[in-house]
Amino acid sequence: MEKQNTVVLDIGACNLKIGTDDGIRNIPNCIFKSKMERRKSFISGQIDSCKDHSGLFYLLPFQKGYLVNWDVQKQVWDYAFGKDVLNLKPADTSIILTEPHFNFPTIQEAMNEIFFEEYEFQSILRTNATTLSYRKYEEEFPLENCCIIVDAGYSFTHIVPYHAGKKITSALCRIDVGGKLLTNHLKEIISYRQLQVMDETYVMNQVKEDSCHISMDFFKDMEKSKLKGDANPLLCEYVLPDYTHIHRGFIKKKGAGSEKSSKTQEQTIRLAGERISVPEVLFHPSDIGIPQMGIPEAIVHSIEKCPEELRPHMYRNIVLTGGSCNFKNSKERVEREVRSLTPSLYKVRVTMSDRPQEYACAGGLAWSTADHFREHLLTLEEYQEAGQSACQRQFIDI
């Protein structure tokens, strides 16, 4: 039997992760418009050709975690499948698509129509990103038959337990905190205290990624953040890009001096407590008025909803995935806090890959090589015969 050409398309609200035999590519899932080049649009990866990233206006296909703007999404997919990225022939390709948990039937039907009727892919599999992450974990730890996936994404954080290849839907938990909320929170803090940056989403997202980390002792570190000068370990100056001499912002090295360069007038913002208070929202959403559990509490809550005999296995197989897990100390902090909430007879183990945002995509690639993978696919011929009803039967609870 000849090898099947399979592509994994992890459709995130922020980034599109594309997995092929050549590796995984990560491109923005949006269209950009620049205030400097108002008549021109930059689709996804074309943003690299934009000379000025200040004041970028985003056209996003997702709102509140669900796909609503099909025109924008279709342009991004066209770009991804075109010669600049994949140069794909859908008729010879099987594709694995991800969708949010509890996706709306109308969105599912539209996706089926687009990928079968417009693109005419040979076969498709529509599933959740956490399911692909479970398949990757299953490959890495074949002796374990259950785990709990924490998917901290752009719009939400989902906590989903799996056992024997199936998700335990009754124990699924969602927190309305993700990367978008954290970036917006940082924009509000900086705009209130220092500089109006509410229109600078692209730049402030880079500031968040470059400077923020998770504290292992939040209240002690916040006390230190009030100190002045070198006594404050969190205090730093972040140099903002001007897109003439500086094309990407960076943290200025301590001791580099406060004099501004003779060639360019550096514009900086001072960061201290914000570096830990912004990602702390993942652990305490109530800090900004969201009456929900943090990630460690939600993990315990979800596990306690699982059958009692599975709980010891769940506690030792906690998997962190998603772009919002990229903060330094994420794994250590989650493991410590879950340990403090868990009976001592249970062993707690948290695992996280080096690139958690691509873990689901890697799981799709691993799954596509399994012996029984093809039985999960729905072919174009089957769709043409039975239509949407075939999709409802094939993709139920995958």
Q: What is the pLDDT along the chain (398 residues), one digit of tens a residue?
A: 344 589 999 999 999 999 999 999 999 999 998 877 767 889 998 888 888 787 788 899 999 899 999 999 999 999 999 998 998 899 999 999 999 999 999 999 999 999 999 999 999 999 999 999 999 999 999 988 899 999 999 999 999 999 998 999 999 999 999 999 999 999 999 999 999 999 889 999 999 999 999 999 999 999 999 999 889 999 999 999 988 888 889 999 876 654 444 445 788 999 999 999 999 999 999 999 999 999 999 999 999 999 999 999 999 999 999 999 999 999 999 999 999 999 999 999 999 999 999 999 999 999 999 888 889 999 999 999 988 888 888 887 66
Verify that 173 and 318 share a domain, yes or no: yes
Verify that 67 and 193 share a domain, yes or no: no
Verify that 125 and 146 share a domain, yes or no: no
The predicted structure's pLDDT at residue 247: 85
> Residue 23 region, left (φ>0) first, then alpha (ψ -120 to 50), else beta?
left
Q: Which of 326, 341, 356 is the last residue of a domain?
A: 356
Is 285 within a domain? no
Q: Which of 279, 314, 346 is the last residue of a domain?
A: 279
Contact 274, 190 (CB under 8 A): yes
Is 288 within a domain? no
Verify that 310 and 320 share a domain, yes or no: yes
Is 223 within a domain? yes
Verify that 206 and 303 share a domain, yes or no: no
* The residue type at 196: Q
Verify that 67 and 33 share a domain, yes or no: yes
* Residue 250 belongs to domain with CATH number: 3.90.640.10
Verify that 12 and 118 share a domain, yes or no: yes
Is 103 within a domain? yes
Is 286 within a domain? no
Verify that 136 and 221 share a domain, yes or no: no
Tell me the residue range of the domain where 186 lies: 179-279
Is 287 within a domain? no
Verify that 78 and 118 share a domain, yes or no: yes
Verify that 33 and 115 share a domain, yes or no: yes
With 0-12 / 13-18 / 19 or more C-beta atoms within 10 angstroms meaning exposed / middle / buried, residue 93 is buried
**Strand duo 350-352 + 318-321: pairing:** parallel
> How far apart are alpha carbons 286 and 267 in whole angstroms?
33
* Residue 27 belongs to domain with CATH number: 3.30.420.40
> How far apart are alpha carbons 138 and 164 in whole angstroms?
10
Is 284 within a domain? no
Q: pTM of this prediction? A: 0.91
Is 87 within a domain? yes
Start-to-end CA distance of the chain, whole Å, equals 25
The predicted structure's pLDDT at residue 4: 58
What is the number of domains present in the chain?
3
* Distant-in-sequence contacts of 248-254, Cβ < 8 A, 24+ apart: 248/206, 249/203, 249/206, 249/207, 249/210, 250/210, 251/210, 251/211, 254/230
Beta bridge partners of 127: 98
Verify that 159 and 268 share a domain, yes or no: no
Verify that 352 and 304 share a domain, yes or no: yes
